[in-house]
Amino acid sequence: MLVRILQSIIFGLFSGSLYGIIGLGLSLIYRTTGVMNFAHGNSGMIGVFVGWTILALTKNLFLSIFLGLIFGAILGIFMDKILMKKVKGLSHSSMLIITLGVLLIFEGIALIIWGTQPLLFKDIFSFPPKLIYLPQKLNPNNFPLIIPTNDFANFLVAVSLSILIILFSRLTKPGLALIARSEDEIGAKVVGINVNFADSLAWALGISTAVFAGFLVAPKTTVNPIMLVNFQLYGFTAAVFGGFSSFIGAFAGGLILGVLEKIVILVLDQLFTKLGISTINSVDLQLSIILLIIIITLIIKPTGIFGAKFKGKV
């Protein structure tokens, strides 16, 4: 049993780091520009498709990932300059509906250009999985603890990326401009920060993190138009956990979410076995569980677990 719990925690941390990156990108954009990007997953998906195309042409994995990320940044700037500048003064619902429109457009474009056939993507890291046997005392059945090394490498990359972004936002001038912009738009203008530049930077960074997450999951999900739709929901949940107010919070929220999800599946599995329900596979309920977690979190604390309290305004 201990092994299964440990196993769930390990798998949970690995998938949670991906949710964390997406949540980080979402909260980066939301905090800085005030736009909740419902097209986040699909923007990442388009970037991955571009990367796949470059890979198919050049056979160079790292070049294609690099160009995919650059494409994501350009796409982010494009969305900021073309669409979001126009709705800046409009209501929340207008911004939301515009991003939903972008979501549909990207989905359609991917289908038109690349078709519905799922495309395979190379693993970035390919190592054999490692098995760890715990001491006999803790592990009577002698089940091994499986560490998928690829996922572990992905996990390390994701963690270091988020640490990089956090350091970037704390230590560099453009990063501090981002933070200042998110704290107070007018105040940032007063001290001479180029708010438009900060907005574009947030979009560029945000979308390229989504593309990056897309590259990490692509070997598993294959490259297809709906590859990141569910991940976007996970990202929302992670960011909701983090309260959309701190980058560390969003990433930590992702990790918590990943572990929680795997633990809940484990519990449900045990429950179903005990009750003798064999028609429902607990893995099918994975997304529902996550979404129930969102709803419950929002009920308990509408601005997220680490979130600041919202003060009303007339």
- Residues in touch with another protein (CB under 8 A): 30, 36, 38, 83, 86-87, 90, 92-94, 96-98, 100-109, 111-112, 229, 233, 236, 240, 279-281, 284-285, 287-288, 291-292, 294-295, 298-299, 302-303, 310, 312-314
CB 154 to another protein: min, Å: 25
Q: Answer yes or no: are the C-beta atoms of 192 and 26 closer than 8 Å.
A: no
Nearer to another protein, 94 or 160 (CB): 94
User: What is d(CA 66, CA 70) in angstroms, rounded to the nearest whole number?
Assistant: 6
DSSP string, 204-255: HHHHHHHHHHHHHHHHHH-B-TTTTHHHHHHHHHHHHHHTTT-HHHHHHHHH
CB 38 to another protein: min, Å: 8
Question: What is the dihedral sign for C-alpha 260, 263, 269, 275?
Answer: negative
CB 89 to another protein: min, Å: 12
Kind plus residue range of the DSSP H or E element containing 292: helix 286-300
Nearer to another protein, 146 or 285 (CB): 285
Distances (CA, A) of 67 to 60, 71, 92, 169: 11, 6, 33, 23
Nearer to another protein, 13 or 268 (CB): 268
CB 116 to another protein: min, Å: 9
Q: Both tokens of residue 61?
A: 């994995």
Nearer to another protein, 98 or 213 (CB): 98
3-state secondary structure of 302: coil
Rg (CA), the chain: 20
CB 93 to another protein: min, Å: 5
Nearer to another protein, 3 or 293 (CB): 293
The amino acid that residue 57 corresponds to is L
Nearer to another protein, 65 or 290 (CB): 290
User: What is d(CA 281, CA 239) in angstroms, rounded to the nearest whole number?
Assistant: 28
Nearer to another protein, 1 or 90 (CB): 90
CB 136 to another protein: min, Å: 39
CB 98 to another protein: min, Å: 5
Cβ-proximal residues to 70 (8 Å cutoff; 6+ apart), any chain: 208
